[in-house]
Amino acid sequence: MKKIIHVVGARPNFMKAAPVFFAIRDRGIFEQVLVHTGQHYDEKMSDIFFRQLGIPKPDINLEVGSASHAVMTANIMIQFEQVVLSEKPDLLLVYGDVNSTIACAMVAAKLGVKVAHVEAGLRSFDRAMPEELNRMLTDSISDIYFTTSRDADELLLKIGAAPEQIHFVGNGMIDTLVRLLPEAQKPEELDVLPGGYALVTLHRPSNVDDPDIFPKIWEKLVQLSKEIPVIFPVHPRSRQRMMEMGLVLDGVTLCEPLGYLEFLWLQQNAKLVLTDSGGVQEETTYMQVPCLTLRKNTERPVTVTEGTNILIGRDFNLLESSIRDILNDKAKPGRVPEKWDGDSGKRLAVILEELSVKEIF
Ligand code: UDP
């Protein structure tokens, strides 16, 4: 039986890997090894997702922890090389755009192991985003591409991928959402009513690392909280920056990062979501919840062209008018993109079986 290694490292990877792992397991076609790099490592950013999503304990945990980009990437590479040498996989599956994605793809490619990139072909065209560099580099050395949207297929063709390497399977993050939405649960610690609050997540360096920008966004959140309760589960890096910048959020409810089921409930029932997260843009599009993205660009353009997402960038007038529209029940309508239906993991597993039969890996 051929052996596949899955690499996960950070919060958004868990939702994407789970449906692929389960679909392969259900077909019984390959031996699977789950490697966690430990890029995110604590209860709130990692462990809770394994429990809530039902993902088995990783077979191998590299426990790299927090570090600068270079140190983290290098540490993952050093340790993952030993994993590949001892496990001798036939294929590596990497997900999304985190440091673990490129670090492990690079190691496997240099050892002659085929690499499949899940969520390939996304581009924000903003190289100031560390994730954009990870996406570009991972795509440039992958052998097999699984995509979430047709624009990603087009991008991959433009950068020289062959059509037979590209497989439009749909969105794995939405598979997890479809499976677990019936189990979404209201966070006990928050006193909120469905439709009666705005939900905020912010953690991109372009928003939270910039001492000119973060306080301005802060001011807007405080203003918004005078009209509607604002709930902000704070990512660890944003918490750190808030402390460094001495930001005080009068009126806004801050909490720790939430579990998946609790956060899903909050998204589904929010009047509006303000975010810079990639995954949250997609999940709100699926649930048709109004989403305002505090970024100048998005690597997930279908959330704007088809979904409920509006790119706000730094245009605070647009932010105000969009909030006004939503509060007046005139939110931008949206539809669910093609193949965002809960079955992308199954499609992916079938394709892997076919590729294996053809000896592509
Ligand atoms: N998420 C969560 N709890 C939170 C915030 C986000 O479970 O407090 C989930 C969210 O539903 C989505 C994923 O985390 O599935 C998005 O991860 P993140 O925003 O960290 O990464 P990005 O998508 O921006 O790469």
pLDDT digits (tens, 9 = 90+) for 156-215: 999 999 999 999 999 999 999 999 999 999 999 999 999 999 999 999 999 999 999 999
Residue 134 and residue 260 in one domain: no
Residue range 298-322: average pLDDT? 97
Residue 226 and residue 140 in one domain: no
Q: 79: domain CATH number?
A: 3.40.50.2000
Residue 351 and residue 321 in one domain: no
Residue 139 and residue 23 in one domain: yes
Residue 323 and residue 344 in one domain: no
Residue 135 CA to ligand 1 center (angstroms) comes to 18
Residue 348 and residue 276 in one domain: no
Residue range 34-61: average pLDDT? 97
335: in domain: no
332: in domain: no
Residue 31 CA to ligand 1 center (angstroms) comes to 29
172 lines ligand 1 (CB under 6 A): no
Structural domain of 138: 3-170+340-357
Residue 224 and residue 295 in one domain: yes
Is residue 80's pLDDT more than 90? Answer: yes
Q: How many domains does the chain have?
A: 2
258 lines ligand 1 (CB under 6 A): yes
Is residue 295's pLDDT more than 90? Answer: yes
Helices 214-224 + 236-245 axis angle, to 10: 100
Give the pLDDT score at 137: 98
Percent of the chain with pLDDT over 70: 100
pLDDT band at 145 (very low <50, low <70, confident <90, very high): very high
For all residues of the chain together, what is the average pLDDT?
97
Q: Whose CA is nearest to atom 9 of ligand 1?
A: 260
Residue 166 and residue 239 in one domain: no
pLDDT band at 250 (very low <50, low <70, confident <90, very high): confident
Give the pLDDT score at 44: 95
Give the pLDDT score at 241: 93
Residue range 215-226: average pLDDT? 94
The Cα 307–Cα 310 span in angstroms is: 9
Residue 31 and residue 154 in one domain: yes
280 lines ligand 1 (CB under 6 A): yes
Q: Which two tokens stand for residue 237?
A: 């890096």
Residue range 293-298: average pLDDT? 97
214: in domain: yes
34: in domain: yes
The Cα 82–Cα 143 span in angstroms is: 21
Q: Confirm whether pTM is higher than 0.85.
A: yes
**Angle CA(258)–CA(336)–CA(354) in degrees, nearest 5?**
90
Give the pLDDT score at 249: 78
Is residue 100's pLDDT more than 90? Answer: yes
Give the pLDDT score at 36: 98
pLDDT band at 258 (very low <50, low <70, confident <90, very high): very high
- Parallel, antiparallel, or unpaired for β 198-201 and 230-233? parallel
Which atom of ligand 1 is closest in space to residue 12's alpha carbon?
17
Residue 13 and residue 148 in one domain: yes
Is residue 315's pLDDT more than 90? Answer: yes
Work out the number of other CB atoms within 10 angstroms of the CB of residue 166.
19
Across 57-113, the runs of DSSP E, i.e. the strands, are: 60-61, 91-95
177: in domain: no
Active site positions, annotated: 203
Which residues, at least 6 apart from 285, have a Cβ–Cβ distance to it below 8 Å? Answer: 291, 302, 303, 306, 307, 308, 309, 334, 336, 337, 340
101: in domain: yes
Ligand 1 mutation target, pool 256, 277, 286, most atoms within 8 A of CB: 277
178: in domain: no
Residue range 26-35: average pLDDT? 97
21 lines ligand 1 (CB under 6 A): no
Residue 11 and residue 115 in one domain: yes
Residue 53 and residue 190 in one domain: no
Percent of the chain with pLDDT over 90: 98
pLDDT band at 248 (very low <50, low <70, confident <90, very high): confident
Which residues, at least 6 apart from 207, have a Cβ–Cβ distance to it below 8 Å? Answer: 213, 214, 217, 276, 294, 295
47: in domain: yes
